Amino acid sequence: MTFLVLLGAPGAGKGTQAPILADRLRLPHVATGDLFRSAVLEGSAVGLEARQYMERGQLVPDSITVKMLLDRLAQPDASVGAILDGFPRNLAQADILASALADRHSQVDVALEIEVPEEELVRRLSGRWICKANGHVYNERSHPPRVPGICDLDDSPLIQRDDDRSETIAARLAAQLAALGDVVDYYRQRGLLRTIDGRRPVTEVTDALLAAARAES
């Protein structure tokens, strides 16, 4: 079993990199943000509650988030491990993850932090478009689609996330960066943290993440 935690501020590139790492390392990509967005689209009770927090740029309460994550990790494809994108987001989640994995005689093998300066995060989030069908990620500056407004991979329309409005971007960064710092320190203290310079082009960031992951797992 291999569990990799992908850390980074909103817009650092976790959702861009995680599917590539998942493919290359043959591990499922488990993203709490994607699970919440699916729940919102389904209109489930979890989705309705999570939406109130996501729209304000705040973390969804642990009582909802942890159950959703543990249910996902109980699915058969996660018996080999997972790439965790967006979890843990605070110290309580980091502790719960450690004990849930210990129950499976496993542990976090490495925490990969993608580090990007705040002004670049704002630029990236305000230029992000995702495809409606599968969430494939684009950027109007660094990674535009071949046909404007259409996904290269599945032809579905590109939309902006509700939480990529400029006022929500500021709120997300203000509300979430301190907790991210706590989680980064948590893994640093345990000798599990590897920090990657996320300002470089996507392919170079991928290579650096893969090298760090393969050295540890």
Kindly tell me which of 47 and 86 has the beta carbon lying closer to ligand AP5: 86
| Closer to ligand AP5 by Cβ: residue 105 or 122 | 122
Is 89 annotated as catalytic? yes
Q: Does the bond joining 88 to the residue before it have cis omega, within 30 degrees of 0?
A: yes
Closest of 176, 178, 208, 202 to residue 10, by C-alpha: 176
Query: For residues 13 and 81, which CB has a smaller minimum distance to ligand AP5 in the complex?
Result: 13
72 is catalytic: no
128 is catalytic: yes
State the nearest-atom distance from the C-beta of 177 to ligand AP5, in Å: 11
What value, to the nearest 5°, has the Cα angle with vertex 141 and ends 135 and 145? Answer: 45
H/E stretch holding 114: strand 108-115
Q: In the beta sheet, which residues pair with residue 196?
A: 114
Tell me which H or E stretch contains 209: helix 202-216
- Cβ contact 186:180 at 8 Å: no
Residue of closest CB approach to ligand AP5: 33
**Known active-site residue 172:** yes
Q: What are the residues binding ligand AP5 (CB under 6 A)?
A: 8, 10-16, 32-33, 36, 53-54, 57-60, 65, 86-87, 89, 93, 124, 127-128, 137-139, 142-143, 163, 172, 198, 201-202, 205
Active site residue 56: no
The residues annotated with a catalytic role in the active site are 14, 89, 128, 161, 172
